[in-house]
Amino acid sequence: DIQMTQSPSSLSASVGDRVTITCRASQSISTNLNWYQQKPGKAPNLLIYAASSLQSGVPSRFSGSGSGTYFTLTISSLQPEDFAIYHCQQSYSSPLTFGGGTKVEIK
Amino acid sequence: QVTLRESGPALVKPTQTLTLTCTFSGFSLSTSGMCVSWIRQPPGKALEWLARIDWDDDKYYYTSLKTRLTISKDTSKNQVVLTMTNMDPVDTATYYCARGGRMIAYGMDVWGQGTTVTVSS
């Protein structure tokens, strides 16, 4: 199975900050990497698919990059509604696997 | 509008079999490239993908739970059913179903609200 490792596991940031979250795969997954945002008590929401494609309706301050084994999710200017947990997930091969999540908290 | 809704028991006893149903609308699971996955999340823990069924009836399972899981679909009813045998307290979690598809690199773009399952005697 492909292991997905996110870092950091949590971070504190202020409104307006630029935030970057990383996700590493245990083997190459090309660009088959998706990012989700999850708020407390809610289901995850797809932000980015295929490593860098912005899902419809997602603000342009979110962007994704990477290929192979290294990927990043960047929020260019953190907004109050962005405080949440972010998950990466590989869709290269079954079983599809998630990272451990990154909690973005208010500084 | 695409929606999915999970249903099933809130409480099961250890060793029992859990049956969860995902009822969806707004898309057809007979459309090429479509799929539905089940994902769970134990309290305070990470998401864990469990199983997926594709439009062509291909099925995929989480390796360590493969012997306990069965996924099936009823296209006429717009439902996907997941069964998990031999339930244990560690299986206590919120269970989600979600639509995925080739058009979004098999990401999952619409999720149900989730159903909480507690395993306890």
Q: Which pLDDT value is given to residue A107?
A: 86
Question: Could you tell me where the beta strands, DSSP code E, fall in B1-121?
Answer: 3-7, 11-12, 18-25, 34-41, 48-54, 59-61, 69-74, 79-84, 93-101, 108-111, 115-119
The CA radius of gyration of chain A, in Å to the nearest whole number, is 13
Q: Is A37 on the interface with B (CB under 8 A)?
A: no
Structure confidence by residue, pLDDT tens digits, B32-80: 999 999 999 999 999 999 999 999 999 999 999 999 999 999 999 999 9
Q: Which residue from A minimizes the CA distance to B37?
A: A96
Counting Cβ atoms within 10 Å, is residue A57 exposed (0-12), middle (13-18) or buried (19+)? exposed
Q: Residue A44: which of B61, B63, B111 has the nearest Cβ?
A: B111
State how far the alpha carbon of B91 is from the alpha carbons of A17, A55, A82, A98, B43, in Å.
Answer: 38, 31, 30, 17, 10
Give B54-60 contacts, CB < 8 A, sequence gap 24+: B55/B29, B55/B30, B55/B31, B56/B32, B60/A94, B60/A95, B60/A96
Show residues of chain A in contact with B62, CB under 8 Å: 95
Tally of CB atoms within 10 A around B12: 21
Token look-up 């990466």 returns A88
Show residues of chain B in contact with A23, CB under 8 Å: none
Q: Residue A43: which of B37, B106, B113 has the nearest Cβ?
A: B113
> Is B113 in contact with A50 (Cβ distance < 8 A)?
no
Residues facing B53 on adjacent strands: B36, B59
Q: Rounded mean pLDDT of B19-44?
A: 97
Chain B: residues touching A (Cβ < 8 Å)? 37, 39, 46-49, 52, 60-63, 96, 98, 100, 104-109, 111-114
Asked whether residue B105 carries a pLDDT value surpassing 90, the answer given is no
- HSE at residue B63, side-chain half, CA atoms within 13 A, is 8
The percent of residues above 90 in pLDDT, for chain B, comes to: 96
Q: Residue A100: which of B46, B49, B114 has the nearest Cβ?
A: B46
Per-residue pLDDT of chain A (107 residues; tens, 9 = 90+): 999 999 999 999 999 999 999 999 999 999 999 999 999 999 999 999 999 999 999 999 999 999 999 999 999 999 999 999 999 999 999 999 999 999 999 88
Show residues of chain B in contact with A46, CB under 8 Å: 104, 107-109
Q: Which pLDDT value is given to residue B104?
A: 86
Token look-up 């929606």 returns B3
Q: Which residue from A minimizes the CA distance to B60?
A: A94
**What span, in angstroms and rounded, lies between the C-alpha atoms of A100 and A86?**
9
> Is A55 in contact with B48 (Cβ distance < 8 A)?
no
The CA radius of gyration of chain B, in Å to the nearest whole number, is 14
B11, B118 contact by CB (below 8 A)? yes
Structure confidence by residue, pLDDT tens digits, A89-105: 999 999 999 999 999 99
CA dihedral B94, A87, B46, B117 (to 10 degrees): 0
